[in-house]
Amino acid sequence: MTTRIGIAGITGRMGQLLTEEIAAAGATLAGGTSRTNPDLAALAATCDVVIDFTNAATAQANARIMVDSRKAWVLGTSGLSAADEAAVQAAAQSIPVVYASNFSAGVNLVLALAERMGAALPADAYDAEIVEMHHRQKVDAPSGTAVGMGRAVAKGRGVKLDDVMESGRHGHTGARKTGAIGFAALRGGQVVGEHSLIFAAGSEHIVLTHRAFDRRTFATGAVRAALWAVSQPPRLYSMMDVLGMA
């Protein structure tokens, strides 16, 4: 019997790509939710795992529904608040949850490198700045992937991102704080996603960049995560776990 996968938000751009990737992987599409048919509980009852690329506003409610369903949950929604992430972490005590800011294999390799670079390049000598650009319709900033980069650098440096994050500088901000991790968010056109991590020292600059040209890479990774998650015990996983890099 093939894995039955449901899609929360099946009528969106990602939903359509997920539908194609589920078929390509030889899995079964169990159905999906949409604005006109938002019943996630009914969907979860018919499948083994749900892939969720909906909206941050639904994260806490979806977490409760998925716990009640006892099915695996693959969550790719960005812009989650601290309370939203707490709800996701709580859900992972009862069900397997794969929560990732980005499901691209390439991005996750970049995140692994970002952590190592953060550890190797001293914060008092190398300023870390993250620049991202997305399509004009994106509603959250900085992007989930940019925040993921920042968290990776912060982890490498042994600090919490919330304590060193500087985002959206404007006006007379004063000199840059030593150890800060800066963010700049650009929006325009139909850019799928571009992220650059810059380490700037007095004598050199090191730039780590990832560019996505097709959203399908996210769909392919999410389906891979779904097929992996159904056989895992309850826990909060990342795409690093799926790729065997954790």
* pLDDT tens digits for range 205-231: 999 999 999 999 999 999 999 999 999
* Rounded CA separation 113/102 (Å): 15
- What's residue 17's pLDDT? 97
Active-site pick, 138, 170, 172, 195: 138
Q: How does residue 246 score in pLDDT terms, banded at 50, 70 and 90?
A: confident
Nearest to 196 by CA among 105, 145, 130, 149: 130
CATH of 4-103+215-242, one of 3.40.50.880, 2.102.10.10, 3.30.450.20, 3.40.50.720: 3.40.50.720
Give the pTM. 0.87
- What's residue 205's pLDDT? 98
Q: How does residue 44 score in pLDDT terms, banded at 50, 70 and 90?
A: very high
- What's residue 40's pLDDT? 98
Q: Express each pLDDT in 60-96 by its tens digit.
A: 999 999 999 999 999 999 889 999 999 999 999 999 9
Tokens standing for 228?
């992996």
Residues whose CB falls within 8 Å of the CB of residue 40, separated by 6 or more in sequence, listed in order: 8, 33, 50, 62, 65, 66
Mean pLDDT of 45-70: 97
Please state, rounded to an integer, the average pLDDT across all residues of the chain. 96
- What's residue 54's pLDDT? 94
Output DSSP code: residue 84.
Answer: H
| CATH architecture of the domain with range 105-212 | 2-Layer Sandwich (3.30)
Q: Does the annotation count 71 as an active-site position?
A: no
Q: Does the annotation count 134 as an active-site position?
A: yes
Q: How does residue 1 score in pLDDT terms, banded at 50, 70 and 90?
A: confident
Active-site pick, 71, 134, 195, 210: 134
Angle at which helices 144-157 and 105-120 pack, to 10 degrees? 30
Mean pLDDT of 181-186: 98
Per domain, the residue ranges of the chain are: 4-103+215-242, 105-212
Nearest to 237 by CA among 134, 128, 119, 108: 108
How deeply is 78 buried, as exposed, middle or buried, from its count of CB atoms within 10 A (0-12, 13-18, 19+)?
Answer: buried
